[in-house]
Chain A
Amino acid sequence: MDQSKSMVKMLIWMGVTVIGAAALGGIALHRGESINSVWFVTAAVCVYALGYRFYSAFIAAKVLVLDAGRATPAERFNDGRDYVPTNKWVVFGHHFAAIAGPGPLVGPTLAAQFGYLPGTLWILIGAVFGGCVQDFVILFFSTRRDGRSLGQMARDELGPVGGVAALIGVMMIMIILIAVLGLVVVNAMKHSPWGTSTIAATIPIAILIGIYMRDIRPGRVLEGTLIGAALLLMAVAGGGWLDHQQGLREWFDFDGPQLAVLVIIYGFSAAVLPVWLLLAPRDYLSTFMKAGTMLLLAAAIVILHPEVKMPALTQFVDGTGPIFGGKLFPFVFITIACGAISGFHSLISSGTTPKLLTNEIHTRMIGYGGMMMESFVAIMAMIAACVLDPGVFFAINSPAGVVGGAAADAVAKISGWGFPVTVDKMNELARVMGEATLFARTGGAPSLAVGMASIFGSAFGAGMLAMWYHFAIMFEALFILTTLDAGTRVARFMLQDMLGNIYKPLGRTSWYPGVIATSGAVVAAWGYFLYIGTIDPLGGINSLWPLFGISNQMLAAIALCVATTILVKCGKIRYAWVTAAPLALLVIMTSWAALEKLFSPQPGVGFIAQANDLAMKLAAGTLPPEKIAVTHQLIFNIRVDALLTIVFLATTWILVFDTLRISYRILKGREHPPLSEAPHVPTRLAEEWMRD
């Protein structure tokens, strides 16, 4: 009986392997007009299933040795607040809601300029061997250390250098992240009264729901969220109405720099307002919308299985791409950060989640499984971007500075690359989407929205394309703005924490002048990059997204350094490759990309070359007078970008050397920071209880 059962299981897994290999092979070797998206979904599901069943089981049993009989921090410190033993599916839901942001939607859309293949492969391989492993091991190590944060673990296990590096890393990634996400929203709202008014309406709606949840029906978050979601849908429809009202639509028609200023004002207000008023209700709404839209998109893709029209590889693997400069290697690795491996997740895995676990064996499902889900979201984003005609995709995403400001020029240039597109086609597309134009909407949000609208449109009624488009824009903007609020607050707390050491009152979160000053400083920092991004002729995304990718991968490197050090300390050097191998790949690719960003002679790639190029143009006097001031600003900004890249690079390598130093000392039996694992306490939670 048992034997035949295991035979059946083995046959099933062999089947999964064969189907997965066939689907992957199909994607990789296909060179035709178009390929069906069903291959992508099949390949992804099989790869994740195999990764979860075998690789994560190996890590759980051999590398980390999960112990079901050990009490978790939630059980030991149960305070009904931070530390609460919680049902594993509920923790999974919270964890996924926390890690899944706009990153996995934007990255794959941008990386589609290389064709669908490189991004898809990196999302799958990177997740199974990198991202899922990182989230899993960090969640586990934090659980074994009373739920301590990544920064604290870095300090405990590596020493003060590691701790400071982690702190700087987190601060910088926040600033760059918020700036680049702000830029994505700005590019989606540019000269779009429908989009802008809908996104503007989300603010009063969130405030209304905030008041509802606090005063009218305190704590009834489900009710409040449902009402808010209904209002949001009405706002999308209302935006469509407003767009046709002459005299009213002009009030919501802005260009990039104006929108940047508005987003900065919004960010500052949101950071100093009480959380219950704006941030908390907005987060409930965005989480609800995100979950709903993701399920809808997954259902639509599975039912419709649309054709992917992007070629497997484009000529832009050589580094001449219009959306961002740089060759396939190493730039695909920093363009798709979230979705393959995202260092930011290690902050969540060592934040709230470990304090909720009932049993440490759940770390596998929540850490490894949660990242698998996020990776699948990235695959869906890749499909949504690639169902567009490549010509349309490039017309939407190429900045005016690259293809030319006039529609005819842009179309001629893009068609010249071998991706035929016409002005009529773009105008017709803009018309059905309810926009004035879709040219030069760099950033990923509009092209993703067009892709999603066409998928939703053919699944649930094509007559509503414009509604679907603006729904998608609203949905992306909603949680980008949540990340912006939440990120500004966290960066402000960290800044207050640091400055509190210098001047005590600044550290107090209740001292209002301190709150205003530190919030202002944080907003000014990301606001600067955001504003410059909107006046940059290359689109801003071209320089900001790689910086974001580099900083995110650097954070992942810090997390993997900490994990590797712990493995070596536990005497598991035999298995240290589990974290050391992705660490090595990440450090090599990120450093390579950082060096390219600094020293590449191509002005679209290298910061120094770009600054020199602009300086030469200034000196030659070929620039029109109105551009001279902007060019000075741009040159200064490019130098700031270069400096940041150097800081990221230096932090990463300091940490890598620190890891090597500590590992060497451990192996030689010399003095080193001791293992900071909490003592073993047997669990008293009965199996019955755990099931809830």
Chain B
Amino acid sequence: MCRPGWPKNGCGIKKMTRLLVAFKNLRQGIRSMTGEDAYDRYLTHWRDRHVEEDLPPLDRKAFYKQQQEHKWNGIKRCC
């Protein structure tokens, strides 16, 4: 949004960043809704909580497989 009183050239930049932020938010929203970012979230969690343990983090493939097995262990879909 462009407010009166803002420097003229700053206004354009603001608009651009706003658009960029909106686009990034949308992309992130879609990624987390679909589970596309599950591995990234796992890595963040691993760095936060498990980095001191001896085991390295799972790779993408192993994580995906384990996550799917785990996910379908309970009631996930309804009538």
Is the beta-carbon distance between B78 and A489 smaller than 8 angstroms?
no
- Smallest Cβ distance from B67 to chain A, in angstroms? 8
From 321 to 377 in chain A, residues with beta carbon under 8 angstroms from any chain B beta carbon are 337-338, 342, 344-345, 347-348, 351-352
- Smallest Cβ distance from B25 to chain A, in angstroms? 8
Residues of A within 8 A of B30 (CB): 222
Residues of A within 8 A of B14 (CB): none
Residues of A within 8 A of B65 (CB): 214, 276
Residues of B within 8 A of A483 (CB): 77-79
Is the beta-carbon distance between A347 and B41 smaller than 8 angstroms?
no
From 18 to 67 in chain B, residues with beta carbon under 8 angstroms from any chain A beta carbon are 28-36, 38-39, 41-42, 45-46, 49, 59-61, 63-65
Is the beta-carbon distance between A347 and B78 smaller than 8 angstroms?
yes
A490 at interface, CB cutoff 8 A: yes
From 531 to 586 in chain A, residues with beta carbon under 8 angstroms from any chain B beta carbon are 548, 552
Is the beta-carbon distance between B41 and A214 smaller than 8 angstroms?
no
Looking at the complex, which one of B38, B60, B77 makes contact with A487 (CB distance below 8 Å)? B77
Residues of A within 8 A of B38 (CB): 219
Is the beta-carbon distance between A98 and B79 smaller than 8 angstroms?
no
Binds B, one of A81-89, A432-440, A590-598: A81-89
B17 at interface, CB cutoff 8 A: no
- Which residue of chain B is the closest to A102 with respect to CB atoms? B79
From 478 to 510 in chain A, residues with beta carbon under 8 angstroms from any chain B beta carbon are 479, 482-483, 486-487, 489-490, 493
Is the beta-carbon distance between B78 and A344 smaller than 8 angstroms?
yes
From 212 to 262 in chain A, residues with beta carbon under 8 angstroms from any chain B beta carbon are 213-215, 218-222, 225
Number of B interface residues at 8 Å Cβ cutoff, please give it.
34
Is the beta-carbon distance between A283 and B77 smaller than 8 angstroms?
yes
Nearest first, the 7 closest Cβ-Cβ pairs linking A and B are A80-B45, A103-B79, A218-B61, A218-B60, A219-B64, A486-B77, A275-B72
A177 at interface, CB cutoff 8 A: yes
Is the beta-carbon distance between B45 and A220 smaller than 8 angstroms?
no
In the complex, the number of residue pairs spanning A and B with C-beta atoms less than 8 Å apart equals 109
A280 at interface, CB cutoff 8 A: yes
- Smallest Cβ distance from A202 to chain B, in angstroms? 16
Is the beta-carbon distance between A352 and B77 smaller than 8 angstroms?
no
With A221-B34, A276-B68 already in contact, the answer to whether A214 and B76 are too (CB < 8 A) is no
Q: In whole angstroms, what is the CA distance A276 to B68 when docked?
A: 6
Is the beta-carbon distance between B79 and A344 smaller than 8 angstroms?
yes
Q: In whole angstroms, what is the CA distance A89 to B71 when docked?
A: 20
Is the beta-carbon distance between A101 and B36 smaller than 8 angstroms?
no
Is the beta-carbon distance between B76 and A98 smaller than 8 angstroms?
yes
- Sorting the interface of chain A by its residue count into under 10, 10 to 19, 20 to 34 or 35 or more gives 35 or more
- Which residue of chain B is the closest to A97 with respect to CB atoms? B77
- Which residue of chain A is the closest to B49 with respect to CB atoms? A80
- Which residue of chain B is the closest to A181 with respect to CB atoms? B79
Is the beta-carbon distance between A275 and B79 smaller than 8 angstroms?
no
- Smallest Cβ distance from A369 to chain B, in angstroms? 16
Looking at the complex, which one of A78, A87, A352 makes contact with B74 (CB distance below 8 Å)? A352
- Smallest Cβ distance from A477 to chain B, in angstroms? 15
Q: In whole angstroms, what is the CA distance A181 to B78 when docked?
A: 12
Residues of B within 8 A of A80 (CB): 41-42, 45-46, 49
- Smallest Cβ distance from B34 to chain A, in angstroms? 5
Residues of A within 8 A of B68 (CB): 275-276, 280
Is the beta-carbon distance between A221 and B35 smaller than 8 angstroms?
yes
- Which residue of chain B is the closest to A92 with respect to CB atoms? B33
B75 at interface, CB cutoff 8 A: yes
With A80-B45, A219-B64 already in contact, the answer to whether A342 and B76 are too (CB < 8 A) is no
Residue-by-residue, is A60-86 near B (CB-CB < 8 Å gives 1, otherwise 0)? 000000000000000000101100101
Q: In whole angstroms, what is the CA distance A100 to B39 when docked?
A: 26
Q: In whole angstroms, what is the CA distance A177 to B78 when docked?
A: 10
Is the beta-carbon distance between A99 and B46 smaller than 8 angstroms?
no
Residues of A within 8 A of B46 (CB): 80
From 283 to 330 in chain A, residues with beta carbon under 8 angstroms from any chain B beta carbon are 283-284
Residues of A within 8 A of B73 (CB): 493
Cβ contacts A to B, 23 pairs, < 8 Å: A80-B45, A87-B32, A89-B33, A99-B78, A177-B79, A214-B61, A215-B61, A222-B31, A222-B36, A225-B34, A274-B69, A275-B71, A280-B68, A280-B71, A280-B72, A337-B79, A338-B78, A351-B74, A351-B75, A486-B76, A489-B72, A490-B75, A548-B79
B3 at interface, CB cutoff 8 A: no
Q: In whole angstroms, what is the CA distance A285 to B69 when docked?
A: 18
- Smallest Cβ distance from A239 to chain B, in angstroms? 25
Q: In whole angstroms, what is the CA distance A275 to B39 when docked?
A: 18
Q: A222-B30, A280-B71, A493-B74 are in contact. List 8 more A-B contacts (CB 8 A).
A: A93-B33, A219-B39, A219-B60, A222-B34, A275-B72, A344-B79, A486-B76, A487-B77
From 595 to 629 in chain A, residues with beta carbon under 8 angstroms from any chain B beta carbon are none
Residues of B within 8 A of A161 (CB): none
Which of B36, B68, B73, B78 neighbours the largest number of chain A CB atoms within 10 Å of its CB? B78
- Smallest Cβ distance from A385 to chain B, in angstroms? 18
Residues of A within 8 A of B34 (CB): 221-222, 225, 284
Is the beta-carbon distance between B78 and A98 smaller than 8 angstroms?
yes
Is the beta-carbon distance between A101 and B69 smaller than 8 angstroms?
no
- Which residue of chain B is the closest to A215 with respect to CB atoms? B61
Residues of A within 8 A of B78 (CB): 98-101, 103, 338, 342, 344-345, 347-348, 483
Which of B28, B61, B72 neighbours the largest number of chain A CB atoms within 10 Å of its CB? B72
- Smallest Cβ distance from A664 to chain B, in angstroms? 32
Q: In whole angstroms, what is the CA distance A348 to B31 when docked?
A: 22
Q: In whole angstroms, what is the CA distance A337 to B71 when docked?
A: 26
- Which residue of chain A is the closest to B60 with respect to CB atoms? A218
B70 at interface, CB cutoff 8 A: yes
Q: In whole angstroms, what is the CA distance A89 to B63 when docked?
A: 25
